Amino acid sequence: MLQLILGGARSGKSRLAEKLASDSGLAVTYIATSQPQDGEMNERVAHHRARRPAEWALIEEPLELARVLRETARADRCLLVDCLTLWLTNLLMLDDVERLTREREALLDCLAELPGEIVFVSNETGMGVVPLGELTRRYVDEAGWLHQALAERCQRVVLTVAGLPLTLKGTAL
């Protein structure tokens, strides 16, 4: 089962994804896409790390998400990917402008063949004003297109607001 959990910053999306992974009854592998570089981001990572059960495996992969999913997905495993918008940011910041397209297509192409359960977490960024700056607008556009393509492929899509899940697609929580 593929699930996409969307929400704004501090909306409860990661906590919900962690609960879904725990409730799956499967061994859990947490795939972290962040690249902490400052004190505040390091604090966020530490907060997430402290919440996770010690028995969960951890893979840190900022760029090659499709490769890691293909190598790690198993029928008896739940993969929790947190977070797609950080992954997208990592790719947007590279000098190789084609890398984002290749990695995005590789991700979308591999989803149908992956066994087990996969829970994706991502920030819903397109609910406000059109941002200033070309890179920021591209980020919001790319995130929106990625979310649409993933939502089409996922069996469940949930929007989390104020810690409350609203099921957009699939069985309600």
Q: Which string of DSSP letters, residue by residue, matches the chain? A: -EEEEEE-TTSSHHHHHHHHHHHT-SEEEEEE-----SHHHHHHHHHHHHHS-TTSEEEE-SS-HHHHHHHH--TTEEEEEE-HHHHHHHHHTSS-TTHHHHHHHHHHHHGGG--SEEEEEEE--TTSPPPSSHHHHHHHHHHHHHHHHHHHH-SEEEEEETTEEEEEESS--
Residue of 15, 48, 67, 74 marked active site: 48
48 is catalytic: yes
**Rounded-to-integer distance, Cα 157 and Cα 75, Å:** 21
Catalytic residues: 48
